[in-house]
Amino acid sequence: MNRWSLLLLALSTAHGLSKEEIGELCSKFPNNTMTIGMVTKGNTQLTMDRWTPTLQTYLTSKISQYGCATRLVPLEFKSYDSMSREGLIDFIFPNPTAFQEVKDKYGAHPFISVKRNFGATQELFRFGGVIVRNSKKHANINTLKDIKTHGKNLTICAVNPNAFGGWHIQLLELIRAGVDVDSHLNVKFLGNHEKCMREVLNCTVEQCCDFGVSRTETVERLVANGEMADSDLFTLDDKMTALNFPQHITTPLYPEWPIASLSHVPRDLEQIIAIPLLAMEKTSPEAVTGAHAGFAFPYSYEPVHQMFMALDHYKTGQCSPGMTRQSEFPKQCEPCDSGYFSSDGFDCIPCPIGYFGNGTGQSSCMQCLEGYTTEVSGAKLGECAIKSTDTTSVLIGTMVTAAITLPLFLLAVYKYGDIAQGLFQSLAAELVELVVSLFLDIGDVITDVIACSNVVQDVNLEKFHDAYVALTVIGFFVGLFGILFRARTTWVAVRDTSNGVSKSGARRVTVSKVHLESTKPVESVIISKQLRIAKIQRDFVTASINFGVFALEDLPLGILNCLIVIFYAQNYDPEVMSLSSLKVIFFSLSFNLVLCGLKLGSLKRMMDIFEEQAHQIENLKVLDQELKAREERREERRHAANAKPATDTPLPPLESNGTPIQNMSNRLTTKHPETSVQPF
């Protein structure tokens, strides 16, 4: 018993199909004849000559005992879809491109695939494609990436826009290499594989082919026929050695052409077709005529499906669920990271609280078991933990934050000025104040950025995202300006310290009318106080700038943080919401409150000092008027003295009103009782 008989006996026994039952299945087709449509590769007559002996003559001879027959019809690339849709064929023998389309549209089911001969002993179950150039031209182009660099405006010749081995798989490899085919290359379709190879070598068409595309085995067949030498063509990115494949190849390997049944064909008839083809010897006359090695069970066509998805994503811009599109060319689709998912093929978003991602490329997330949740969104496998049912955590956190920060806030506003007025008189304390304030400002900016990052990643706070990002950006630049201003102020103070100059520019001096009798000239007192006033004015400007930073940075973010806390307090649900973001918000809010208090206190202190100095300015104006009056009286006395006869008796000292002092000794003793002075 031969191999064909054994297979038929085994299959018939397994499924219990009688000869009459098989005949009844065939009787549903016109003339008991099942039609097999074969997609041609551009040469219809050659295709029919090679495959009619196998798929019509041989098959009919094997199944005629059941009253069944087959016939082979050619299908062009533009007709296989309509023929399949209208049910004019029962089985289809397509290239992988046509098969994937018919499978997706009409439910075609592959059950066997062809084997190819190569050499005397090798049988190939898979194939690929090549991209070649003339070995004597474009010597600087050896890889597909070289086309991107040196192949601008060159011409590539392919078989057909719908050809799998003659265009699709090569197109995908060009895209992966970063070549934008539409704008980088001129594409011409010549109709068949052999012509693409010949035109690269001989260039008889109007526009020469700089590169040629074909399926594997084409170059080897032309070499075997004596039309060219193997060295005439150079294969770009040749993977022959890497894939351990006996033919030149540029692309990955894909499964060979299948034979598939359409949806209206009973699955039992697949077996009637498959058994004779699986039993065919590669040395049979039909196999030799068809240049094939028989048939085998098919490989998985998932690589074909993935290839078409990639091309479709490239053309349409949309990826499959679980994928997202790259931002730069070739803009291929790539899987979402673990912990993220994409249900529409556009953006990858983190898994919400209570869900986790089970690996990469997920279109949805898995929910944690009952009683478990995740701390943050975007959790991965193994990150579910026992959930907390204490819904009062938010309120407790709010109360704790208020209890700690509000007293500090009030102390800073109402007591900071009084304490600092005496504390910051020394230069060292002033430097400490400036340095601490500088680091607080830096910490404030960093805290705001961290809080913004947590809020944006929390899907439950989505309605706050835009406002928080906008205020954080504004606050960042305003805070940066405040930091630079504070750093400059600190540097000036350090520089003055090294020069021995106090922050105020002069020692504090209490100004009153008694200075008129001081041994220090009154004019210097006025100048000293004017310097003091100018410095206080500059300090007031500094405090005003700090207040402006507070108004633009700390106050808006503080208000927004309060709104988020209120939102959590009203909507907290441990099933879907995490406290991790709220913890950062509490910390940021505490920082905001303390800094607000310090800046308001600093402004209040400077306003008090400025008000005090304003009164002293008025005193200085009065003092200046009195000085002018005194000078006028002195001038009058000098004129009077010059008018009298000269005498040797010195003029007595004068009072401030111009009258002579009667007893200078008593006056000095009264002013300085601890000093004994003899009368004149």
For residue 404, pLDDT beyond 60: no
Please state the rounded mean pLDDT for residues 106-128: 87
* pLDDT value of position 593: 67
Greater confidence, 104 or 479? 104
User: If you average pLDDT over residues 367-379, what whole number do you get?
Assistant: 84
pLDDT grade for 390, boundaries at 50, 70 and 90: very low
> Tell me, what's the pLDDT at 456?
73
SS3 call for 239: coil
With residue 201 as reference, give the H or E element that holds it.
Answer: helix 193-202
Q: Is the pLDDT of residue 14 over 50?
A: no
Given a cut of 60, whether residue 678 has pLDDT beyond it is no
Look at residues 455, 437, 410 and name the one whose alpha carbon lies nearest to residue 600: 410
Indicate the pairing of strand 366-367 with strand 355-357: antiparallel
Instruction: Give the pLDDT confidence of 331-349 residue by residue, as tens digits.
Output: 677 889 999 999 877 788 8
Asked which of 43-52, 375-384, 390-399 is least confident by mean pLDDT, the reply is 390-399
pLDDT tier, 393 (very low <50, low <70, confident <90, very high otherwise)? low
Which pLDDT belongs to residue 421? 44
Q: Of all helices (H) and strands (E), which one includes residue 214?
A: strand 211-215
| Comparison of pLDDT for 202 and 667, the residue scoring more | 202
**Out of 26-30, 365-369, 479-483, which region has the weakest mean confidence (pLDDT)?**
479-483
pTM summary value: 0.50
Query: Residue 419 pLDDT more than 50?
Result: no
Overall average pLDDT of the 33-52 stretch: 88
pLDDT value at residue 654: 52
* Most confident by average pLDDT, 163-172, 174-183, 495-504: 163-172
Q: What is the average pLDDT across 37-58?
A: 89
Q: Which domains does the chain have, with CATH numbers?
A: 3-123+256-300 (3.40.190.10), 126-254 (3.40.190.10), 317-386 (2.10.50.10), 393-506+521-617 (no CATH)
Per-residue pLDDT of 297-335, as tens digits, reads: 988 888 888 888 888 777 776 777 888 877 665 567 788
Proportion of the chain above pLDDT 90, given as a percent: 28
Other CB atoms within a 10 A radius of the CB of residue 637 amount to 13
Span 480-538, pLDDT tens digits: 777 777 677 667 666 655 554 444 433 333 344 334 444 345 555 555 555 566 666 66
Mean pLDDT of the chain: 76
Separation of CA 601 from chain center? 42
Q: How confident is the model at residue 549 (pLDDT cuts 50, 70, 90)?
A: low
Higher local confidence (pLDDT), 477 or 159: 159
Distances from the Cα of 105 to the Cαs of 98, 100, 254, 263, in angstroms? Answer: 11, 9, 21, 10
Q: What is the mean pLDDT of residues 595-611?
A: 66
Phi, psi dihedrals of residue 204, rounded to the nearest 5°: -105, -10
Q: How many CB atoms lie within 10 A of CB 359?
A: 13
Give the range with max mean pLDDT: 418-427, 588-597, 617-626. Answer: 617-626
Give the lowest-confidence range in 6-10, 125-129, 258-262, 594-598: 6-10
How many whole angstroms separate alpha carbon 629 and alpha carbon 330?
90
Confidence bin at 121 (pLDDT 50/70/90):
confident
Q: What is the pLDDT of residue 78?
A: 82
Q: pLDDT class for 546, splitting at 50, 70, 90?
A: low
Residues 256, 294, 240: CA angle, nearest 5 degrees: 45
Tell me what pLDDT residue 434 has.
60
CA distance 173 to 581: 44
Kindly write down the DSSP assignment for every residue of 311-380, as one continuous string. HHHHHHS-PPTTEEE-SSTT--EEEPPTTEE-SSSS--EEPPTTEEE-SSSBSS-EEPPTTEE-SSSSEE
- In the 8-state DSSP scheme, what is residue 654? B
Residue 605 is predicted with a pLDDT of 65
pLDDT, tens digit, 9 for 90 and up, residues 209-229: 999 999 999 999 899 999 999
pLDDT classification of 402: cutoffs 50, 70, 90: low
